[in-house]
Amino acid sequence: MDRRRLLTLGAAGLAMAGAPLAARAADLPARLANAPPPIGAAERLARIAKAQRLMREQGVAALLIEPGSSLIYFTGVRWSRSERLTCAIIPAEGDIGIVTPFFEEPSVRESLAVTADVRTWQEHEDPLALVAGWLRDRKLGAGVIGIEETNRYFIVDGLARHLPSATLKNGASVVRGCRMIKSPAEIALMQHATDITMAAYRYAIPKVEAGMRPSDIGRMMNQATVALGGDPEFSLVLLGEASAYPHGSGKPQIVKPGEVVLMDCGCAVEGYQSDVSRTFVFGEPTARQRKVWGEVQRGQAIAFEAAKLGVSAGSVDDAARSYYVGLGYGPDYKLPGLSHRTGHGIGLDGHEPVNLVRGETTKLAPGMCFSDEPGIYIPGEFGVRLEDCFHMTETGPKWFSQPSVSIETPV
C-alpha cells in the first residue's frame, strides 16, 4: 500500500537518527551479498523495440513520456518533473528523441542509457514547440501521438496547440503492455529488494520494546535497510487501535503489552521495489487477536491460490472477499472487514497497473507482479494486514517472500 504521506521515515529520517544510528552501527546487519546487476542497455533497447511493435500494431506514430518511472524504464534517465519540460519521444520506427533545457543537457546525459537525438531549448522558448518540430521532422506531426498516462495536462494542451493535425491519445496500452510483464532481470532485482526487507524485519522486530514510538521502529527498519544495501521507500508502523486504519492515524502511539504492531515496509534496489507487511502482538496475543490473524492468513492464502494463469485480476479479489463475507465480515468494503483492494501491481513503482480489485478484467500472465494483502480492520480495536508480493511464472504464482507462519513468528 502507498503510505508515504503518513508516518513515513525514508532516507531523510536517517539524517535525524543521529546518535542512535552511531550507537547501533556495530550491530547492524551486513550488506546482503549477491546483488543482481542493474538493467543493461540491451534490455532497454529491447523494451523500446517492444513498445515500437505495439505502437505499429495500434497505429500509434509516437509516444511521449516525461520524467518518472516510465522514462527510467525506457531510457535510464532519472530526472524530476518541474515546470521545465524534459521528455522522451519514442517513434514507431527509429531512434528516440530527448527534449530538455539547454543547461540541463549534461546532467540528463549522465543517466541516458540508449542512443537518442537530444534537442535542447532555452529559457525563453516553448519546449513543446521543439517536441512538435521533432515530430514534424520525422513526418509524424499529423499522426496519432500517445501520451504516457501520468503526464501532466500542460504537455497535452501545448502539444495540441503546436500539432493541430495530430491525434493525441492515452498511451497506456503501449506502456502497460511493456511494463506489466517483468523480465528475469527485473524479477531478480525485486527479489533482492524483498530479501533486504525481510532481513531488515528480522533485525528490527526482536528489538521492539515497550514505550517505543512508530518513528523509533521505522528508524530501526531504515537503518537496517541501508546497511543491507537497499534504499528505504517507506516504513509505516501502526500501533494498537491505529492498526485498524490501513494508512494509520496521527494520534500519539507507543508500544504497549498486548497490543497489535502492524509494520508495512519496503525498499528499492536499482529502483525496483519491495512491499511487505507484518502484524504481531507485543506480548501475549488474545484469543480474538489470534482468531483475526488466522483469518487474514487464510485470506492471503486463498488469494494466492486464486491467482492462476489466464484468470482475471479481479477474480483474485473476489475470492478473498467471498471468504471474508462467509466469516461475517463486510459485505463488500464495509467494516469490520476488508476496506481496500486485495493487491496492487508493483515494479519500478510501489503501485503499478493493474490491481487485484473487483472488475479488473486483465488476465494474469507470466511476468506480472502483485502484492497480496487482504487485511481485516476492526475500527476502535485493531487491524491485521499480512502482505507479501508474488510474480506469475509459467506454472503459476511464486512468492517473493514467504508468508508469516504464526502471530508469534511474523518472519
Q: What is the pLDDT of residue 24?
A: 57
Q: What is the pLDDT of residue 36?
A: 98
| Distances in whole angstroms, Cα of residue 64 to Cα of each of 28, 110, 144, 347 | 44, 21, 11, 21
Model pLDDT for residues 29-43, shown as the tens digit of each residue: 999 999 999 999 999
Model pLDDT for residues 159-190, shown as the tens digit of each residue: 999 999 999 999 999 999 999 999 999 999 99
User: Per-residue pLDDT averaged across 151-156, rounded?
Assistant: 97
CB 135 within 8 A of CB 166: yes
Model pLDDT for residues 329-361, shown as the tens digit of each residue: 999 999 999 999 999 999 999 999 999 999 999
CB 99 within 8 A of CB 65: no
The ranges assigned to domains in the chain are 11-30+182-399, 41-179
Q: What is the pLDDT of residue 25?
A: 66
Instruction: Determine the Cα–Cα distance for residues 372 and 108; give it in Å rounded to an integer.
Output: 37
The residues, any chain, with a CB within 8 Å of residue 316's CB and separated by 6 or more, are 303, 306, 307, 342, 343, 356, 364, 370
> Quick one: fold of 41-179?
Creatine Amidinohydrolase; Chain A, domain 1 (3.40.350)
User: Per-residue pLDDT averaged across 107-130, rounded?
Assistant: 98
Model pLDDT for residues 73-101, shown as the tens digit of each residue: 999 999 999 999 999 999 999 999 999 99
Q: What is the pLDDT of residue 395?
A: 97
Residue 5 has pLDDT above 90, yes or no: no
Residue type, 154: F
Angle between helices 214-228 and 11-24 (to 10 degrees): 80
| Distances in whole angstroms, Cα of residue 362 to Cα of each of 124, 244, 312, 321, 368 | 45, 31, 5, 19, 11
SS3 content of the chain, % helix, strand, coil (to 5): 40, 20, 40
The residues, any chain, with a CB within 8 Å of residue 230's CB and separated by 6 or more, are 193, 196, 197, 200, 267, 268, 269, 274
Give kind and range of the element (H or E) at residue 104.
Answer: none
Model pLDDT for residues 287-306, shown as the tens digit of each residue: 999 999 999 999 999 999 99
How do 144-147 and 167-170 pair as beta strands? Answer: parallel
The upper half-sphere exposure of residue 277, i.e. CA atoms within 13 Å in the direction of its Cβ, equals 30
CB 204 within 8 A of CB 280: no
- How does the average pLDDT of the chain come out, rounded? 94
Residue 162 Rama label (left phi>0; alpha psi -120 to 50; beta)? alpha
Residue with cell 492498526: 243
The residues, any chain, with a CB within 8 Å of residue 125's CB and separated by 6 or more, are none
Q: Does domain 11-30+182-399 have CATH number 3.90.230.10?
A: yes
Q: What is the pLDDT of residue 14?
A: 40
Residue 343 main-chain phi, psi, to 5 deg: -170, 170
Q: What is the pLDDT of residue 2?
A: 41
Cα torsion 237, 241, 246, 247: sign: negative
Is residue 214 reached through a cis peptide bond, with omega within 30 degrees of 0 on the bond before it? Answer: no
CB 145 within 8 A of CB 169: yes
Can you give the pTM of this predicted structure?
0.92
